[in-house]
Amino acid sequence: MQPNILVINPGSTSDDIGYYRGQTPVFEVTVRYSQTDLEPYDGKNVTEQLPLRKKIILDYLIDHQVPLKEINAVIGRGGFIRSVEGGVYGVNDQMVSDLETGRYGGIHACNLGGILAREIAQYAKCPSFIANPVVIDELQPLARYSGMPENPRISIFHALSQKRVARLIAEKQGQKYEQVNCIVCHGGGGISVGAHCKGKVIDVSNGYEGEGPMTPQRSGTVPCAGLVSMCFSGKYTQKDIRLKMRGKGGLAAYTGTYDAKELEEFIQTGKKRPGSLIRCTRQQAKEALDAMIYQMAKEIGAMAVVLKGKVDFIALTGGLMFSKYIPPQIAGQVGWIAPIYVFPGSEEKDALRDAARRALENPSIVKHYS
């Protein structure tokens, strides 16, 4: 008999939740949070959002008449723990402490994955897990150089999503993930672009803050001298600068909103939704969106150089790829490099469900976090 598994995948602006009786989904839902919903939490520890997100999950279980006692495992998206190798980890006290305190520098909503899994699993009296957290580190030595020895490049990216999609495409081509070279671009509230070489992500843009393309709410790479001047101008606090880098940067800074779908609607029709935060013209909105796409394509091109031009395919995944505009624009700029595959959303729920199932079937694969 196959196990019943609850999957929790928190993102910066959404929660992806699924409950499965064996292979049968009881419900799969993406809860999206508006800029207004999250405004009270700006600059605060992400754990402040815990009651909001936990209530939504428990309400869905109640609405679908899922008794807690029937759940065999709860698995959450891995957050900012110490750098680890890939795999499935049991959630323990040390992990929860590191996630809650942001000990390893991260205050992203993905930290809530392990915490929510642990709390709900305690109600259900079942195991809780995470799998392939964002801090998987497979960088080649040259990729760590930043120009400042005190400030090396580090690996933080959408590891679960990128590896799942790369593996699926390789299998469709009759190959193993460990046999191919590919580039995966995950586009959501954050954007990361990775160079996958024979099963290892040897270089990747740190989509969390300060690297790669600008995103709907993050600045990405910015001119260093200008940033230093801003930091010492006396006009901004450290909190202000952090919010410009992550939360109120990117499209939000240029247009007023980080809702790419709303922005596209405005560009197409000129009409704003009731209560819209858009504060620019249609032309300005289009130029900002095109600039983000331009930067995504440029980063994909850079990863092609990392792989020395030997690229079997390029994968575009994440919530931004539901757009009818963004994927074709990217493909128009990088399609000459390799075939393009578009996976809107992500395969993260399936990846997490399968990881929990494997952990229950073979507990010896579960790794201990310390």
pTM of the model as a whole: 0.84
Q: Where are the domains of the chain?
A: 4-137+348-365, 159-344
Q: Residues 176-231: pLDDT tens digits?
A: 999 999 999 999 989 999 999 999 999 999 988 779 999 999 999 999 999 999 99
Please spell the DSSP secondary structure of 85-150, one letter per residue.
Answer: -SSEEE--HHHHHHHHHTTTS---TTHHHHHHHHHHHHHHTS-EEEES-TTB----GGGG--S-TT
Exposed / middle / buried, residue 265 (Cβ in 10 Å: 0-12, 13-18, 19+): middle
Class of the domain covering 4-137+348-365: alpha beta
Contact predicate 266/272, CB 8 Å: yes
Q: pLDDT grade, residue 64 (50/70/90)?
A: very high
Q: Residues 147-172: pLDDT tens digits?
A: 999 999 999 999 988 999 999 999 99
| CATH no. of 159-344 | 3.30.420.40
In this chain, the answer to whether the domains covering 4-137+348-365 and 159-344 adopt an identical fold is yes
